[in-house]
Structure 1
Amino acid sequence: MRKLFIRTLALALCLTGTAQALRAQETTAAQTAAAADQRPKTINEMRQERGLTDTHNLFVPKGQWIFGGTASYSTHTNKGYQFLVIEGINSKGYTFRVSPMIAYAFRDNMALGGRFIYSRTLLKLDNAELHFGNEETGTNIVARDFYSLKQTYSAAAIWRQYIPLGRNKRFALFNEMSLAAGGTQARFANDSPVKGTYETGYTLSLGISPGIVAFATNNMAVEVNVGVMGISYTHTKQVHNQVTVGKRNTSMMNFKVNIFSIGLGMAFYL
């Protein structure tokens, strides 16, 4: 009986020590978790909370190629048209713009690539009259035989980040940053005998264009973006009648929505 009692007492003491050790481990783990909650969160931890770096919110997987672009074409013809104080407008012209794009997803929901932009604008004005006041005492300005042709071209390096809308696989937001450089050519002529001006120049710009993408099929998507911020520098050289030379330098920093930069295009994710 005495041996059985001693064995039972030893077993009870062992169980008591084990329970105390487990409680001590739980207390240490709770203190560690509390200390982790009290320390400041890192940038990566905050990004994970927003879902920007959550691998589960996958929209564009790593290794995917993206091909796309935008294109637009418009024409106009005026015959005897009147606009406010401008009368007898006889003109015709067109505007053409194309912007192909290629990118590669170097990591999930992020892509690097390039974009090329070309635009061409033509205006032929046969006649237009500007009237201020009445016919007897007013001022009349007449423009005839005016011709304008302008071409712009640029290449840009782009970086894109896609932000999925929750777990949605069809719609997502994206932000596109671009660093572009390009040139311009323009010709202006009017009057008879003809007086002409020729312009050349170059442009450097940095821009941000957020947008939204919607997949119509598994590989084809429709994209809409708009420029909201940009920094640009432009240098222009002008030669008038092959004699007079003029130069112009302009710089601009824009922090507002540019409604003229709204783009609607197609993209293929392969």
Structure 2
Amino acid sequence: MKKIILSLFILFYAINLLAQEDTLSVDEKQTPYDLLSSYYSGKFKPFKKGNFFAGLAFSLTDKKLENTDYLIQQVIDGDRLSYDVLVKGGYYTGDYGMVLLNLNYFQDKFSGTIYRDPDTLQSNTISRGFAVTPAIRSSVPLTKSERLSFFTEIGLTFGKTNSLTRNTKNLDEIEKIYGDDFHFRVGLSPGITFFAMENFAFEVELNVLGYDLRVSESSKNNGPKSREVRQNVDFNIDLLSLQLGLAYYFGANK
């Protein structure tokens, strides 16, 4: 919810700035805002062929859980810490058209006491994963100065996640669950780019359409592996998939 509110704030802020820029009078005395706006002149071409792009998105979640119900268990007391880092790099092969590569690394860790009928367990879980996404992006300026633009990104994602869960009951009964998750996705993601200062831009991106293939393997206490294959086609606006990041465009003011 916080990401959604922040994204809407950035969008309204961008529209307000651009509206002020359009109403500036030539005869007015130059203010710091005027000097900043003058940077985005006819020479400012962030989406020109030959330009480079670099982006970064980061999220961190730290939760304290007490008497929280889940589907098959209740968390009596626990802590969950997760983070997600996304690094992007791209090159404009043509005006308003770019090829890029997204590298994603994430981790989710939980430690606490859970109740799973009829037992109370001390549970520790950690999962780590990565994803690589080659993609192409097409940008469409929404303003003459190109400070605000709309883009559409199509990408192929290949990822893997490893997980380990250790449940302890009665101090000496230990259950270990190992898991591997392989992920493939073809997705379409629209978004908005707003240049806030010189070549720096805020970007908001949303997953809208995609095909998912996920293969999950798990084993308990080194026993035989179980395997699950899931396929999913989605076409919806999921606000939970909203990504907010910072980008820098090299060569935008050549």
Equivalent position to 1:232, from 201, 204, 212: 212
Count of aligned residue pairs for this structure pair: 203
The answer for the alignment partner of 2:240 in structure 1 is: 260
For the pair 1:241 / 2:241, whether they are aligned, the reply is: no
Q: 1:90 to 1:212 in 2, by over 3 A?
A: same
The answer for the alignment partner of 2:48 in structure 1 is: 61
Amino acid across the alignment from 1:188: T
Equivalent position to 2:151, from 163, 171, 174: 174
- The C-alpha deviation readout for 1:96-155, integer Å capped at 9, x for no partner, is 1001000001111110010011111011121447xxxxxxxxxx6554212221112110
Structure whose alpha-carbon radius of gyration is higher: 1
User: Quick check: 1:114–1:155 contact (8 Å CA) kept in 2?
Assistant: yes
Q: What's the RMSD between the two structures over aligned residues?
A: 2.3
The answer for the alignment partner of 1:185 in structure 2 is: 162
The SS at the match of 2:126 is strand
Q: Which runs of 5+ in 1 are unaligned?
A: 1-56, 130-139
Distance 1:82 1:237 in 2: 27
The answer for the alignment partner of 2:124 in structure 1 is: 147
The answer for the alignment partner of 1:7 in structure 2 is: none
Distance 1:162 1:116 in 2: 21
User: Quick check: 1:90–1:128 contact (8 Å CA) kept in 2?
Assistant: no
Q: Scaled by the length of structure 2, what TM-score is found? A: 0.74
Q: Scaled by the length of structure 1, what TM-score is found? A: 0.70
Equivalent position to 1:91, from 67, 78, 97: 78
The SS at the match of 1:191 is strand
The answer for the alignment partner of 1:30 in structure 2 is: none
User: Quick check: 1:154–1:181 contact (8 Å CA) kept in 2?
Assistant: yes
The answer for the alignment partner of 2:23 in structure 1 is: none
After the TM superposition, which residues 46-85 of structure 1 pair with which residues of structure 2 at under 5 Å, given as runs? 60-78=47-65, 80-81=66-67
The answer for the alignment partner of 1:15 in structure 2 is: none
For the pair 1:209 / 2:196, whether they are aligned, the reply is: no
Tell me which moved more, 188-197 or 259-268. 188-197
Distance 2:212 2:70 in 1: 34
The SS at the match of 1:260 is helix
Q: Which runs of 5+ in 2 are unaligned?
A: 1-43
User: Quick check: 1:58–1:109 contact (8 Å CA) kept in 2?
Assistant: no
Distance 1:94 1:201 in 2: 20
User: Quick check: 2:75–2:112 contact (8 Å CA) kept in 1?
Assistant: no
Q: Answer 1 or 2: which has greater helix percent.
A: 1
- The C-alpha deviation readout for 1:151-200, integer Å capped at 9, x for no partner, is 12110101111111142421011111111111110111213211011011
Identity %: 20
The SS at the match of 2:206 is strand
Displacement of 1:208: 0.9
User: Quick check: 2:75–2:113 contact (8 Å CA) kept in 1?
Assistant: no
Amino acid across the alignment from 1:236: S
The answer for the alignment partner of 2:17 in structure 1 is: none
